[in-house]
């Protein structure tokens, strides 16, 4: 029994009937996904900081980017390492990324010409430890299990959050990834997820995630930081306080200025 206890505590072993206590057992070391309902279901209360995550979606445009942009935004501002995109299917649109809060100075696009080159560049980004997050798109037919294992190991070594985008058919193939989800768009402000594999819990289906468009409800850190910098750069001058008489001000007098709150 004594052998099992430390394993249980570390989370390397988990009891199937204790799923409801996942909330207490989970460790909040992950990158916040930006969706509270999703955070509650994940072992690290967010995306794992040093592991392989697989996101399965039908085709690009099914909500897979929207799922991770919050995490990318947080990470790009917290850390000064690169966020690398290997072989993206289309152009990641810079103004939209900016609007989502991602620091595009840290974004790096890599365009390999073959599967071997793609694997090599992924390995380089992971082993150098210079990327905080890597998003990769591989040709599914060329991807093999030993390669995935190696990616997982390198991600742990380089302390990088790697996300691999694969088609839904890959859910039937086992994979060493720590977290596997599938996603598609249900409506304009709802994503439908299914967790195929996660640490410390069973698979789950039909998870609905609300997409909020308002920046205020997202993680306030990014915008607060930006606001602070903006304020420090702009010193808003106050007009000297003149004493006006208790009558109405004369026509043409300047309105009183308060220190302006941005929005």
Partner 1 sequence: MLWIGIHLPELGLEIFKQRLPKTPNKPAVLALNNQISIIDQRAHEHGIRVGSSLATAHSLTTNLIHFNRDEDAERQRLRQLAGITYRYTPMVSISPPDGLLLEVMGSLQLFGGLGRLNKRLRHLFQQLGHRTLFGMAHTPLAALVLAKSNSKADLPDFPNKIVIQSISEQSLRDVSLAHTEIEPATIERLANMGIFNLGVLLALPSHEIGKRFGTDLLTYLDKLTGKIADPRQPEKPDERFQSSLHLLQPVRDKETLLFPMQRLARELQGWLRARQLGVTRLQWEFRPLSGESLVLPANFAVPRSNAKSILEISRLAIEITALPTEVLTVVLRATITEPLSNNPTTLHNLFQSPTSQGGSTPIDLIDKISTRLGRQALQAIRAIEDHRPEYAWSPSPPTDPLRMTRSPETTFAQSLISQGRRPLWLLEPPEPVNASHFVFLVGPERIEAGWWERDVVRDYFVGKDRDGAYCWLFTEEKGCFLHGYFS
Instruction: Report the interface residues with partner 1, using CB under 8 A.
Output: 58-66, 69, 79-82, 89-101, 104-105, 107-113, 117, 120-121, 124-125, 127-131, 157-159, 184-186, 188, 213, 215, 226-227, 229-230, 233-234
Q: Which is nearer to partner 1, 81 or 166 (CB)?
A: 81
Residue 45: CB minimum distance to partner 1, A: 23
Give the orientation angle of helix 145-158 with respect to helix 115-128, to 10 degrees. 20
Residue 87: CB minimum distance to partner 1, A: 10
User: What gap in Å lies between CA 44 and CA 50, rounded to an integer?
Assistant: 11
User: What gap in Å lies between CA 212 and CA 35, rounded to an integer?
Assistant: 9
Q: Which is nearer to partner 1, 139 or 157 (CB)?
A: 157
Residue 140's nearest CA partner among 113, 112, 110, 164 is 164
Residue 205: CB minimum distance to partner 1, A: 18
Task: Please state the separation of Cα 228 from the chain's center in Å.
Answer: 23
Residue 118: CB minimum distance to partner 1, A: 10
Q: Which is nearer to partner 1, 112 or 176 (CB)?
A: 112
Q: Which is nearer to partner 1, 19 or 159 (CB)?
A: 159
Residue 141: CB minimum distance to partner 1, A: 21
Tokens of 219: 């993680």
Strands 51-56 and 179-187: parallel
User: What gap in Å lies between CA 64 and CA 142, rounded to an integer?
Assistant: 22
Q: Classify the phi-psi angles of 200: left when phi > 0, otherwise alpha if psi is within -120 to 50, otherwise beta.
A: left
Please list, residue by residue across 21-31, b when 16 or more beta carbons sit within 10 angstroms of its beta carbon and e when fewer do: ebeebbeeebb
Residue 71: CB minimum distance to partner 1, A: 14
Q: Which is nearer to partner 1, 8 or 109 (CB)?
A: 109
Q: Which is nearer to partner 1, 37 or 80 (CB)?
A: 80
């Amino acid at each position: 029994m004594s052998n099992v206890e430390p394993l249980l505590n570390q989370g390397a072993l988990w009891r199937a009937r204790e799923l409801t206590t996942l909330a207490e057992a989970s460790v909040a070391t992950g990158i916040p996904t930006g969706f509270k309902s999703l955070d509650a279901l994940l072992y690290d209360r967010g995306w794992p900081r040093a592991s392989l995550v697989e996101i399965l979606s039908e085709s690009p445009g099914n909500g897979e980017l929207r799922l991770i942009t919050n995490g990318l935004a947080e990470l790009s501002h917290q850390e000064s390492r690169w966020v690398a995109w290997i072989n993206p299917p289309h152009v990641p649109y810079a103004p939209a990324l900016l609007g989502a809060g991602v620091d595009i100075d840290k974004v790096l696009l890599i365009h390999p010409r073959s599967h071997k080159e793609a694997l090599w560049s992924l390995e380089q980004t992971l082993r150098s430890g210079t990327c905080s997050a890597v998003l990769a798109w591989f040709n599914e037919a060329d991807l093999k299990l030993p390669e995935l294992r190696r990616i997982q190991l390198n991600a742990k070594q380089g302390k990088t959050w790697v996300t691999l985008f694969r088609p839904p058919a890959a859910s039937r193939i086992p994979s060493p990834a720590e977290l596997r989800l599938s996603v598609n768009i249900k409506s304009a402000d709802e994503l439908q997820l299914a967790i195929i594999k996660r640490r410390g819990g069973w698979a789950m289906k039909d998870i609905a995630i609300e997409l909020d468009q308002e920046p205020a409800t997202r993680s306030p850190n990014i915008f607060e930081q930006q606001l602070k910098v903006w304020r420090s750069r702009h010193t808003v001058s106050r007009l000297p306080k003149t004493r006006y008489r208790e009558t109405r001000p004369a026509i043409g007098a300047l309105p009183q200025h308060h220190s302006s709150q941005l929005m």
